[in-house]
Amino acid sequence: MSDLPVPSDVKPPSEIDPWDLWHDVVVEVKKRFMQPSFWQALETVIPITIEGTTFVAGLPAAAGHYSGYLTGTENRNRLERILQELANAKLTLRIIEGTEESDWEFVKQREQAAHTAQQAMRTRFEQPSAPGAGGRPLTWESLLERIYAMFSRAKGHNLPQGRVEYLMQILPILSEQSQKIMDASRHDLDRNERALARLIDKIAGLVEVPSAVIALELYRYRQDEKKKTES
């Protein structure tokens, strides 16, 4: 049997007192990990609220230098594991700047504004261009812009799995849009092939794989699509 203090194991997260829970978290961390600097960081944290399954806590401005001890992957995982054990609930930890609920509301408003801006940017780059309707003409340059824009918005593009997800999203666009450009200028086959090769090189650089791998994935994608249309 675990000897963990579990003051709220029968309560939903919304009914748990964040101050009580955080106090128990700090006590438990000190039992498990002999890291005084980590302890000091925890003692500066101010519990703010539990919203849904998110445990929100803040750091005072003067304690901002402790942020790294709390948001690093190893310590964050430790804290979330202990939070979940003590609360008997699937909680995630969110550390913000500030110590008041108004600070948390400001963070949410800022993130919502950023999300809205991203949605507007996505709409801008993903709207199909209609010749004669004021849309941007489809060119190799505009396709390159879209490739970069989608990468900058791709979730977790700094991680290998995020880059793979981006590649899976960009392949259909690269295939369809490059074919449209080539169909519109069949007389300039050599130039188009070189332009496509440059795009493949750019994508390969973004996802950090050899260009030949991107070319192979593009070929496979086109072959799969061809089989679908023939079946």
Q: What is the pLDDT of residues 156-207, one digit of tens each?
A: 888 888 888 899 999 999 999 999 988 887 788 889 999 999 999 999 999 8
- The hierarchical CATH code for the domain 13-105 is 3.30.300.180
pLDDT at 138: 85
pTM, whole model, 2 decimals? 0.51
Tell me the domain boundaries of the chain. Answer: 13-105, 131-230
Q: Calculate the CA 151 to chain-centre distance.
A: 11
pLDDT of residue 135: 54
For CA atoms 111, 117, 120, 124, give the dihedral sign: negative
Tens of pLDDT along 131-167? 433 456 788 999 999 898 888 888 888 888 888 889 9
Per-residue pLDDT tens over the stretch 65-74: 888 889 888 9
- Single-letter amino acid, residue 82: I
